[in-house]
Structures are given as C-alpha cells and as structure tokens.
Structure 1
C-alpha cells in the first residue's frame, strides 16, 4: 500500500509465477539392419522414451 499526493491511496501487490516445463517430445531410437538375404525374415524394434513419463504406443 502506498500513499500518493492529494490523499490518493494506491494498492499494489507483487507475485511470482511458478510454471512447470512444457510437455517434451518423446524420443525414438534404434539402428535397423540395412542388409538381409532373400527369403530371410526382417525384424526391427526401436526403443521409445518419454521424459515426462507419458505412455507411448507406436507401430513400425
């Protein structure tokens, strides 16, 4: 509270904002095989991670 000239009273307040970090994007990693022989089956399973702990679902 602060008094200004002419008897005017001014109210003010200070505040602080505490904000959480925004949602971070998930990461997907892995190195697939680049060469296979004919009639050979192929399988690649990358790993995915979310720093926020959100559940991830994906298909390759």
Structure 2
C-alpha cells in the first residue's frame, strides 16, 4: 500500500536565460522527481524554442 505522503511530485522547468521574457506557459517543461532522492532543485539541459538552442532549465515554484 502507498504511504500517506506522495514521494513523486511534478516539477516545472523553465529556461534560466530567458526566464523573465517568456510568457506564462510557453517554453516550459514538466517532469516528475522523487523528493527523497533529489531534495534540491532540478536542473536539466533542454531545448529552448526562444533561444533556439539547448540551455539549462531549472525548477521553479508552482
């Protein structure tokens, strides 16, 4: 049986270079992470459609 608190949560990733310029939902990625294994914020290299290259996308608050 599952425990009361969910271990896997949905994380939203946004480009670190153009964070203030991008409109609300365009250019964001969603993924899931395990809070027990990775308590810190995620940083993954993803393709940014505005920069038109692969950049580092960091986890943001919901």
Higher relative contact order (CA 8 A, sep 6+): 2
More helix by share: 1
TM-score if structure 2 supplies the norm length? Answer: 0.24
TM normalised by structure 1 equals: 0.24
The structure that has the greater radius of gyration is 1
Name whichever structure is richer in strand by fraction: 2
